[in-house]
Every structure is written in C-alpha cells, then in structure tokens.
Structure 1
Amino acid sequence: MEVFYYLVFGGLSMVVALLELSKTSKDLVTTSSAFTSFKNNYLVVYSLMMAGDWLQGPYVYFLYSQYGFSKGDIGRLFIAGFGSSMLFGTIVGSLADKQGRKRACVTYCITYILSCVTKHSPEYKVLMVGRILGGIATSLLFSAFESWLVAEHNKRGFEPQWLSLTFSKAIFLGNGLVAIISGLFANFLADNLGFGPVAPFDAAACFLAIGMAIILSSWTENYGDPSESKDLLTQFKVAAVAIASDEKIALLGAIQSLFEGSMYTFVFLWTPALSPNEEEIPHGFIFATFMLSSMLGSSIASRLMARVTLKVESYMQIVFVISSATLLLPIITNFLVTPSTEKGRTISFGGCILLFGFCTFEACVGIFWPSIMKMRSQYIPEESRSTIMNFFRIPLNVFVCIVLYNVNAFPITIMFGMCSIFLFMAAILQKRLMVVSDSHRSKSQDWALKEKDVETEPLNI
C-alpha cells in the first residue's frame, strides 16, 4: 500500500483527535446525570445496530459473486432491497407510530437477523427474500430509532438543545468509529481467520441480538398518536396532508431526498472513479478513510450545533454548496488532468485529487446526518413522525433503483454531474427553508406579543 493512503488517513486522524481534544466550554453543553445515562444507553444500542449494518456492507456483493451470480443478477438483488425499502418498509415504518417505536426497533433486529441467516443459502430465491427483509430493516433503522429517541427525550422533559448532543455523538460513533471497526473486524473474520464471506453476517446477527436484548430490558414504549384509533390508510393521509400543508416539512423532505440520493449514488461511483483503468486501490482502507472523514464532519457538527445563536438552516446551505463542488471534481479532472492509459497501476495523480475531494464530501455527509436529524425534530409533528420520515425515503429509493438499473448507460462524469446539480438544488431549497422558518418564527413571536398586550391592557369600565 502506498504511503499516500497512510498520509491521508493519518492526517485525518490527527485533525479529528485535535478537534475532539480542543473542545472548550463554548463547545460543551452542561447536562444532567439523568440525561447522560439516557444518552449513553441510546448510544450503546445505536452503535450495536449500526455495527450489525456496517459488518454486512463490505461483503454483500462479494458473497453473491462467490455463489456464482452475474453482475445483472446481483444488480437485481440490490434493486429488490431498495424497492422493498420503498414499498414494504414504508408500511412497516408507519406502523411504528401506531404500534409503538420500541416494537418497531425490535422488529428491525428480528428482520435483519433473518436477512443475515438467508446469506447461508446459495439459492437465488432465498437471497432475494433476504434482500427484501434487509430493505424493510433499513427503513426501520432510519426512522424508528430516531422517532423513539425524540419522543422519549421530550417525554422525560430534557432540554431540546440536548437532543443535538445525542444526534452528533450517535453519528460520530455509529457512522464513523463503529463503521471503521466493523470494516476491519469483517475483514479479520472473513480473510485473516479464513471463515469466509458469510462470517461477517453471522457476527452482525450476534450484535443485533445483543442490541435487541438491551432494548427489551431497558427501553420504554412510546407512540405517535395513541389517543386516536387510526388505520394505516388514515395515517398515510394524515402524513400526506402534513407534508402538503406545511412548506417546511415538504422542503425538508425534498432536501433529504436530494442529498441522500446523491450520497447513495456516490457509494456506487467512487470505486470506478478512483480506478478507471483498473488501478490497484485498497478498497477497505479507502472505505475506512471515508468513515474517518465522516467522523470529522460529525465532530464539526457538534461544535456548530452547540452554538445557540447559529442556526442549522444557515450553515447547511454552505455544506450543500461544498458537497456539490466536490462531486464536480471528476468532471474537472477529466478535462484538466491527462488520464493514464496503463492498466493495473497504482492510483493516478487525478485519482489522488479525487480522493481528497471525496473525503471532503464524506465530511459533509458527517455534518448532514446530525443536522438533518435536528431539523426533523423541529419540523416533523410527533404523531406522524415515523410515517413522514418513511415518506421522505420513497423518492430516494426510486432514484437509487433507477441509477442501479442504468448504471452502465451513462458515462461516470454525467452521473457525478447529475449528483452535483441535485446537491446545488438542495442548497437552494435549504435557503428557502430558512426564509420560511424565520417568517413563521417572527409571526409566532408577533402573535405572542399581541396576546400579551391584550392580557396586560387595562379595562375601561
């Protein structure tokens, strides 16, 4: 492995360590011991859930190829996963508001464990069932846990600002540190110990089972709207009306879909972008570097959200513009840097430039996650939280399915250019969200002042 990769990884590690160690009182928020205990319990569970997810990632494609399936067969399996997340996942996720968020989190564990079990079978139909179960589990992972956390946080009477602490730390651990350790652990099980590509899935099932035991023993149940007996169709109608009637919610959903759609497309494109001529690149090490960049972003986000006077809606405009610029780099380098024609070499000069840009994009991803969680906690109504959050994932999954189906139909530069445009659109919508939010806030303040004046005005009798 070239020294270049070690330099990038080492440099990022030093920056992350310095950011974490240099936090001052301005970057820290004084909390209570009860909140600290609550936060740590959630972080342990969330880290175990993310470990169960990250352990599977590096070996899904490889396992399918080892079973002898073609690229087209594997592509259909992936499409089935995203398709089930869009269809069945939306329904199951919506049931969380009605049947309880804790039950939904337990359902996630059971569903994903069953998905892991199917990986032992080389039968295509069994693997297809596993992908469908995995798609349902993914929807629950990105809706039920956050919904439970927000409801429980408010139910226990903790300060609203403290919620951002849990969000940023969850992303720092679950999407950063745990992802790096999971990738290395999966590699250790499959390659170093020689257990094969199924071993990471068995390990994932074990972590999910441990997390489920903690949920069952220490979490309390909470609901979206237990006071009204609503069927599933009524819940969908309520969520749709909320999105259509509140511009802030609609804007937030569009922003999330645009960013996450670009992010998932990037997951498929970074490998061919860095090795267009089959250059030998250390995929696992680069993945770990990306996750370290995400940790850097979440560390920056924790500092930003600790500033009471700094609005999330404000700095996220800049984040979206930067992320848009980074995904333009493959187009720029294609024109400015002469591409290598030799196959099988190490990473090219253009690839080095792209790696820096992609690390910057991953840092933006690290800022995005806790920030979008913070905005969702502010704008999405509690009674339909899980339902609305899964509504947001419908256009995302449609977009990813289309990209997967046509991944070989367009040049890679066109795909990156499309993602860059989407991210710039997200920046524009974020600007609009800030304007609408400020307008709504000022109207609320004016109304409160008028009510106060009426209460204090002397009666002329």
Structure 2
Amino acid sequence: MEMFYYLVFGALGAVVAALELSKTNKDRVITSSAFNSFKNNYLLVYSLMMAGDWLQGPYVYYLYTTYGYGKGEIGQLFIAGFGSSMLFGTIVGSLADKQGRKRACVTYCITYILSCVTKHSPQYKILMLGRILGGIATSLLFSAFESWLVAEHNKRGFEQQWLSLTFAKAIFLGNGLVAIVSGLFGNVLVDTLSLGPVAPFDAAACFLAVGMAVILSSWSENYGDPAENKDLLTQFKGAAVAIASDEKIALLGAIQSLFEGSMYTFVFLWTPALSPNEEEIPHGFIFATFMLSSMLGSSLASRLMAHPSPRVESYMQIVFLVSSASLLLPILINFLMVPSNVKGGSISFSGCIQLLGFCAFEACVGIFWPSIMKMRSQYIPEEARSTIMNFFRIPLNIFVCVVLYNVDAFPITVMFGMCSIFLFVACVLQRRLLVISDKPKTGDWELKDRDTESEPLNM
C-alpha cells in the first residue's frame, strides 16, 4: 500500500485527536447518571447497527463486479435498492409510528440479515432480492431508531439540549469510529485473510444479530400516536398535510433529499472515480479514511452544537457550500489534467487530489448528520415522526434511481456536476430556512397585536 494513504489517514487522525483532546468545559455538557446510562445503551445499539451497515458499504460494488456484472447491471441493482426504499420502505417505516418503533428496529435487523445472506449467490435474481430487502432496511435504519430515541428521550424527561449530545456522539461513533474499524476489519477479511468479498456481509449479519438481542432485552416500546386508530393512508395524509402546511418542514425535507441524494450517488461514484483505468486501490482502507473524515466532521458538529451560537441553521449554509465545491473537483481535474490511458497500476496523481476532495466532502457528511437530526427534532411533530421522515426519503430515492438508471448515458463528471448543483441548491434552501426560523409564527403576531389593542393608552 502506498505511503500516500497512510499520510492522509495519519493526518486526519491527528486532527481528530487534537480536536477531542482540546475540548474544554465550555465544550462539554454536564448530564445526569440516568441520562448517561440511557445514552450509552442507545450508542451501543446504534454502533452495532452501523457496523452491520458499514461492513457492507465498501464491498457492494466490488462484490457485484467479481460476479461478472458490468456498470449498467450494477446500476440496476442499486436502483432496485433505492426503489425498494421508496416504495416498500416508506410503508414499512411509517408503520413504526403505529406499530411501535422498537418493533421496527427489530424488523430492520431481521431484514438486513436476510439481505446479507443473499450475497452468497451470484444469481442476478437473488442479488436483486437482496437489494430490495436492503432498501427496506435502509428506510428503517434512518427513521425508526431516531424516532425511538427522540420519543424515549422526551418520555424520560431529559433536557432537550442533551438530545443534541446523543446525536453528535452517535455520529462520532456509529458513522466515524465504528465505520473506520469496519472498513479496516473488512480489509483484513477480504485482503489479508483472503476470505473473499462476501466475508464482510457475513460479519455484518453477526453484528446485527447481537444488536437485535440488545434491543429485545433492554428497550421499551414507544409509539407515535397510539391514542387514535389511524390506518396507514390516514397517516400518509396527515404527514403530507404537515409538510405542506409548514414551510420549515418542507424545506427540511428538500434539503435532506438533496444532500442525501448527492451522498448516495457519491457512494456509487467514488470507486470508478479513483480508478478510471482499473488502478489497484485498497477499497477498505480508503473507506476507513472517508469515515475518519466523517468523524472529524462530527467532532466539529459536537462543538458547534454545544453552544447557542452559531445556530445549526446558520453554519449548515457553509457546510453545503463546501460540499458542493468538493464534488466539483473531479470536473476541474478532468479539464486541467490530461487523463492517462495506462491500464492498472497504483492510484494516479489526479486520483490522489480527488481523494483529498472526497475527504472534505465526507467531513461535511459528518457535520450534516447530527445537525439534520437536531433540526428534525425541532421541526417534525412527534406523532408522525417516522412517517414524515420516510416521506423525506421519497424524492431522495427518486433522484438516486434516475441518476443510476442513466449511469451509462452520462460521463462520470456530469454526474458529479449534478450532485454539486443539488448541494448548492441545498445551501440556498438552508438560507431560506434560517430566515423563516427567525420569524415568529403568524399566530404569535396576531396574539401580540390583540394584546396591544387591549392595553389602555397612557396619556
């Protein structure tokens, strides 16, 4: 492995360590022992769930190529996953509000374990089934767990500020440290022990099974709106009305869809971008480097959210702008540098530059997750939290499906350009969210006006 990979990984690790060690009392929040116990239990479960997800990430594309499938066929498999998340995942995820968030989290474990099992078959139909199951699991992962946490946090009467602490720690561990270890562990399984690209999926199934056992033994059930006997269609209508009637919720959904759509497209693009001429690249180690960058971002987010200023709505504008610029880098390199036609070998100089830009994007991802979680906890009503969060994923999945369906029709630079534009639009929408979040509600103005009119004039 080239020294370049070690230098990037070491530099990022040093920055993260410096940030964590330099935290002062002003950057820390004093919490109760009851909350710490609750938080640690959730972090354990979330870390196990994310280990099950991250172990698979670097090897999905690679596994399909070893089975002899081309970019177009792999794109169709990815489309099946996102399409399943949009159609079936939205329904299953929304049932969490009515049937219980704990039950939905257990369903995630079972569904994802079955998806891992399908990776042992090279048959296209079996792999397609695995992608469909994985799409359902993804919707549950990004709605049911957060919904359970917010409801349980409020039910136990913990301070609202402490919720941001759990969000930041969850991303630091689950999307940072666990992801890094998962990437390195996957690299050991595939490259060092030569167990083949399906080995990480078997390991993922084991972590998911352990996490499911912890959920069943230690979590209590909570619901969105158990008092009313609403069917699924009524839940969907209520969520749609909430989004349409509150501009802040609508903006939050659009911002999330634009960013996550770009992020998931990036997951598909980074491998061919760094190895356009079939260069030998260490997938697991590069993935771990990306996750260390994400860890850096979540460490910055925890500091930012520990203080009342700057507000999340404010600093996220900069995050979206930086992420937009970082995905423009492959386009600039394509114009400024002459591409090499030599097949194989190690990563090129242009690939090294792109890797640095991708690390900057992943740092933005690390800031995005806890920040969007905090905004969702502020703006989304509790009674339909899972349903609304899954509604947010519908345009996201449509966007990714359209991009992947046309993956052979557009050069890779065009797809990076589209992602960069969407991220810039997210920046503009974030600016709008900041503006309207500072304004009092119309009802507040009307109440203030009535109070003023009722006051006697002092002459």
**When the two structures are superposed, what TM-score results if normalisation uses the length of structure 2?**
0.94
Contact 2:58 2:283 in 1 (8 A): no
Q: Aligned residue for 1:318?
A: 318
User: 137-146 vs 326-335, which deviates more?
Assistant: 326-335
Question: CA–CA distance in 2 between the matches of 1:237 and 1:211?
Answer: 33
Q: Aligned residue for 2:368?
A: 368
- How many Å apart are 1:448 and its aligned residue? 7.5
- How many Å apart are 1:226 and its aligned residue? 0.7
Contact 2:56 2:204 in 1 (8 A): yes
1:439 to 1:322, Cα distance in 2 relative to 1, 3 A:
same
Question: CA–CA distance in 1 between the matches of 2:206 and 2:102?
Answer: 19
Q: Aligned residue for 2:143?
A: 143
Question: CA–CA distance in 1 between the matches of 2:434 and 2:69?
Answer: 48
1:446 to 1:282, Cα distance in 2 relative to 1, 3 A:
same
- Mapping 1:14-25, distance limit 5 Å: 14-25=14-25
Structure 1: segments with no counterpart, 5+ residues? none
Counterpart of 1:282, as a letter, is P
Question: CA–CA distance in 2 between the matches of 1:71 and 1:325?
Answer: 26
- How many Å apart are 1:339 and its aligned residue? 3.2
Q: Aligned residue for 2:47?
A: 47
Partner SS for 2:440: helix
Q: Aligned residue for 2:299?
A: 299
Question: CA–CA distance in 2 between the matches of 1:367 and 1:56?
Answer: 23
Q: Aligned residue for 2:168?
A: 168
Partner SS for 2:196: coil
Partner SS for 1:439: coil
- How many Å apart are 1:68 and its aligned residue? 4.2
User: 417-426 vs 406-415, which deviates more?
Assistant: 406-415
Question: CA–CA distance in 1 between the matches of 2:238 and 2:322?
Answer: 36
Q: Give per-residue Cα distances to partners, 1:201-235, cap 9 Å, x unaligned.
A: 22211111111111111111111111110000000
Q: Give per-residue Cα distances to partners, 1:46-80, cap 9 Å, x unaligned.
A: 00001111112233333334444454443322221
Contact 2:115 2:133 in 1 (8 A): yes
Counterpart of 1:272, as a letter, is P
Partner SS for 2:160: coil
Question: CA–CA distance in 1 between the matches of 2:447 and 2:39?
Answer: 34
Q: Give per-residue Cα distances to partners, 1:62-107, cap 9 Å, x unaligned.
A: 3334444454443322221111111000000000000010110011
Q: Aligned residue for 1:94?
A: 94
Question: CA–CA distance in 2 between the matches of 1:358 and 1:324?
Answer: 11
Question: CA–CA distance in 2 between the matches of 1:148 and 1:451?
Answer: 40
Q: Aligned residue for 2:131?
A: 131
Partner SS for 2:292: helix
- How many Å apart are 1:454 and its aligned residue? 10
1:413 to 1:130, Cα distance in 2 relative to 1, 3 A:
closer
Q: Aligned residue for 2:105?
A: 105
1:371 to 1:381, Cα distance in 2 relative to 1, 3 A:
same
Q: Give per-residue Cα distances to partners, 1:301-359, cap 9 Å, x unaligned.
A: 00000012321000000111111111111222222333334333433333222222111
Identical positions, percent: 82
- How many Å apart are 1:4 and its aligned residue? 1.7
Question: CA–CA distance in 1 between the matches of 2:67 and 2:283?
Answer: 21
**When the two structures are superposed, what TM-score results if normalisation uses the length of structure 1?**
0.94
Contact 2:186 2:284 in 1 (8 A): no
User: 63-72 vs 222-231, which deviates more?
Assistant: 63-72
Q: Aligned residue for 1:427?
A: 427
Counterpart of 1:260, as a letter, is E
Question: CA–CA distance in 1 between the matches of 2:332 and 2:118?
Answer: 43
- Mapping 1:342-353, distance limit 5 Å: 342-353=342-353
Q: Aligned residue for 2:266?
A: 266
Counterpart of 2:364, as a letter, is C
1:336 to 1:197, Cα distance in 2 relative to 1, 3 A:
closer
- How many Å apart are 1:267 and its aligned residue? 1.4
1:357 to 1:64, Cα distance in 2 relative to 1, 3 A:
closer
Counterpart of 1:349, as a letter, is F
Q: Aligned residue for 1:354?
A: 354
Question: CA–CA distance in 2 between the matches of 1:369 and 1:448?
Answer: 36
Question: CA–CA distance in 2 between the matches of 1:61 and 1:344?
Answer: 18
Q: Aligned residue for 1:84?
A: 84
Question: CA–CA distance in 1 between the matches of 2:149 and 2:449?
Answer: 35
Question: CA–CA distance in 2 between the matches of 1:24 and 1:450?
Answer: 45
Query: Number of residue pairs matched?
Result: 456
- How many Å apart are 1:444 and its aligned residue? 7.1
Question: CA–CA distance in 1 between the matches of 2:202 and 2:271?
Answer: 26
Structure 2: segments with no counterpart, 5+ residues? none
Partner SS for 1:436: helix
1:194 to 1:338, Cα distance in 2 relative to 1, 3 A:
closer
Question: CA–CA distance in 2 between the matches of 1:198 and 1:336?
Answer: 39
User: 408-417 vs 230-239, which deviates more?
Assistant: 408-417
1:380 to 1:9, Cα distance in 2 relative to 1, 3 A:
same
Question: CA–CA distance in 1 between the matches of 2:387 and 2:259?
Answer: 20
Partner SS for 1:440: coil
1:331 to 1:89, Cα distance in 2 relative to 1, 3 A:
same
Q: Aligned residue for 1:384?
A: 384
Partner SS for 1:163: helix
Question: CA–CA distance in 1 between the matches of 2:357 and 2:72?
Answer: 30
Question: CA–CA distance in 2 between the matches of 1:350 and 1:122?
Answer: 34
Contact 2:93 2:390 in 1 (8 A): yes
- How many Å apart are 1:19 and its aligned residue? 0.3
1:5 to 1:196, Cα distance in 2 relative to 1, 3 A:
closer
